[in-house]
Structure 1
Amino acid sequence: MDYIELSVPVADAAQAEIVTAFLADFPFESFTEERGVLKAYIPKDRLADCKAGVDECLREQGIAGATYVCIETVNWNALWESRFEPVEVEGRCMIRAPFHEARPDLPLEAVIMPKMSFGTGHHATTWLMTAELTDPARDWTGKRGLDMGSGTGVLAIVAALRGAAHVDAVDIDEWADENCRENVAVNGVADRVTPLLGDASLLAGRRYDFVLANINRNILLADMPAYVGTLSEGGELLMSGILEGDVPAISERAVSLGLSVTATRLKDGWAVVCCRKAVLPQ
């Protein structure tokens, strides 16, 4: 499959994060940033339908000089191997690739080959979600969960490694689904993590003790009723993929659906919002 590489000049890492958040609403499959240039990759056959919207988004952000270049299919493993560094999350978890050395001194590690899928721990939102999943105050033992917009499957994998009985990992992208299956197998949790190709329409009739949704503001607001509908009483919904400024809108939507906001946490301008479904009186 051929891809289009969009190169966007950015002033600093903060602007790169903001632009990434906006571009994530389009079908870009991967982002990298180095030396003042954010690079976003999208399948060539999917750009035509959204290029006008992408260009308008960049104009609204005051960005000029972005360029599109068609690149033939490349060895994404080799590309990531040259750029992907291990990520440590609060001394409790290491997210690393298979070619990195193991860290037996840490309580938990997830081995991830990201290819073109989102979820290596480098982005603040994945880091925030992983920090919540590995918080010693949380106990996932024996619980059933959902990882919505699972990408590499890293969050589902971490939840399983922390004792979850089963996690459905749902993503709309075929490449992400394939990559998730590979990572689930490598981490030895194929019996507890089930990758599913699709969107929120798959959730009808399913029931979970916790839901993880690291997607983006618009999808969270639109699909939150479906997430809440799957939650058992007392179940938790953890949401990220949002900027700090999105917290009020996400929190208000959650409360309107009967959830209580139990915590919010920030990192580098990004946020995670943690919610709980009430237990109805008997």
Structure 2
Amino acid sequence: MKWSEICIHTTNEAVEPISNILHEIGASGVVIEDALDLLKEYDTTFGEIYELNPNDYPEEGVFVKAYLPVNSFLGETVEEIKQAISGLIKYDIDIGRNNVTISEVNEQEWATAWKKYYKPVKISKRVTIIPTWEEYEPVDSDEIILELDPGMAFGTGTHPTTILSLQALEQYINKEDIVLDVGSGSGVLSIAAALFGAKQIYAFDLDEIAVKSTTINAKLNKVEGKIIAKQNDLLKKVDVNADVIVSNILAEIIVRFTDEAFALLKEGGTFITSGIIQTKKEEVREKLKSSGFEIIETNQMEDWIAFVAKKPISN
């Protein structure tokens, strides 16, 4: 089969919404090539994490690449993608250059070449994420190994927003906690919560593919008994009282359900929000406060912000 690679030159802020658009349109894979990755100093304790070729990267901004089968509908599909990306402007998302190019690739080349980017990576004090095809021996006795099969969704677990979320979960989850993961994606946060000792995790995502991905990855990590993955629109019609709610999602989405999160959290409960670009920091902060939360931590990695907020205990 012949495949077409569609490449969008955009901004770091727009990576997640554009990736979501591509998955929803039926893309068989997404690769993210961020110019900032070339400047990072990686921890090479476990060997090289990435094998990066500067020629693959833009001088500035980000390439988001997706793979679509070459068929008679390709032209229409590409136009739908362009329109959907342009529509992000109305949500005040900076899409940058928004240059779109198309090229043809061989299926076998794509199916194997992308794996070179994905190696074991230590993302917090105790957590190391490894792809299923890599062999890895734990370095520390208390190290938590989170095994993922990202399929063709490159980058799972290594984006700053995910790392910020995982680091907060590691710090604030207690044994026997009930956790809600809003916008679960591949299930990495739900799985981490289970490995940290949470009693029950409810993983919600509007995308049916994400729900299946969470289920598959939960089984890989032998925590499927702790995770209930469901297709759901944020926290609508959810009636589970939680100790922790975590959401690594766009700022524009977070502000839509802070009231519901406050209502579902137990007193003293923790709300971890990530996926917030620097320019949206104050908007999310004010919305959390207006919903009744007390912000106890504000963490940053690159241009991304994560808040840790508490529901006060009434006197």
Q: Which TM-score tier does this pair reach, normalised by the shorter chain? A: 0.7 to 0.9
Structure 1: segments with no counterpart, 5+ residues? none
Give the counterpart of 2:240 among 206, 209, 213. Answer: 206
Q: Which residue of 1 aligns with 2:188?
A: 154
Which structure has the bigger radius of gyration?
Answer: 2
Give 5+ residue unaligned stretches, structure 2. Answer: 24-29, 34-55, 69-73
Matched AA of 2:224: A
In the alignment, does 2:64 pair up with 1:39? yes
Secondary structure of the 2:308 match is: strand
Write the deviation string for residues 12-35 of structure 1: whole angstroms up to 9, x where unpaired: xxx4x23314535x5233442142
Kept in 2: contact 1:80–1:115 (CA 8 A):
no
What's 1:27 paired with? 21
Aligned length: 273
Give the TM-score of the pair, scaled to structure 2. Answer: 0.76
The aligned residue for residue 149 of structure 2 is 113
1:124 counterpart = 2:160: yes
- Normalising by structure 1, report the TM-score: 0.84
- Say which is worse superposed, 261-270 or 195-204, in terms of deviation: 195-204
The residue aligned with 2:130 is 96
SS at match of 2:13: helix
Contact 2:173–2:244 (8 Å) recurs in 1: no
**2:22–2:81 Cα contact (<8 Å) kept:** no
Q: How far is 1:98 from its partner?
A: 1.1
* Secondary structure of the structure 2 residue equivalent to 1:134: helix
- Judge conservation of contact 1:203–1:230 (CA < 8 Å) in 2: no
Partner of 1:183: 217
Partner SS, residue 189 of structure 2:
helix
Q: Cα 1:275–1:74, aligned 2, differ >3 Å: closer, same or farther?
A: farther
Per-residue deviation, residues 173-192 of structure 1 (Å, max 9, x unmatched): 12211111111001010111
Letter in structure 1 aligned against 2:280: D
Deviation of the 1:86 alpha carbon? 1.9
Going from structure 1 to structure 2, the CA distance change for 1:152 and 1:193 (only over 3 Å counts) comes to same
Change (3 A) 1:35 1:239: same
Matched residues in 1 for 2:113 and 2:213: separation? 15
Q: Which moved more, 1:119-128 or 1:266-275?
A: 119-128
Query: Residue in 2 aligned with 1:51?
Result: 82
